[in-house]
Amino acid sequence: MKHRLIFALIMAMITTSMISFTLIAINVGFTTRFIPIWLRSWSISYVLAVLAMLFIAPRVQVLVGFLLKKHLIADEDDN
């Protein structure tokens, strides 16, 4: 659990900062209010991304495992 938490915190920080920076730059431009707008946007997206990685990602992993297992069984039936 500790590994998952640290991974989620770091990965969310990197991805949300890059995406929010890019989208704010495209949609608002580099105005005098860029930094406050970006930090607000980034902080909201960071919290949501961490929660998604902690609570939604494990369910997605189960779904992917199910789909791949089903896919592998279908491949074996074709042979």
Q: Which pLDDT tens digit goes with each residue over 35-54?
A: 999 999 999 999 999 999 88
Residue 18 has pLDDT above 70, yes or no: yes
Q: Domain tally for the chain?
A: 1
Q: Residue 6 — φ and ψ, nearest 5°? A: -65, -40
**How far, in Å, CA of 45 to CA of 41, rounded?**
6
Confidence at 1, pLDDT banded by 50, 70, 90 = confident
Can you give the residue range of the structural domain that contains 56?
A: 2-78
Task: Report pTM.
Answer: 0.73
Cα dihedral 44, 31, 11, 57 in deg (nearest 10): 40
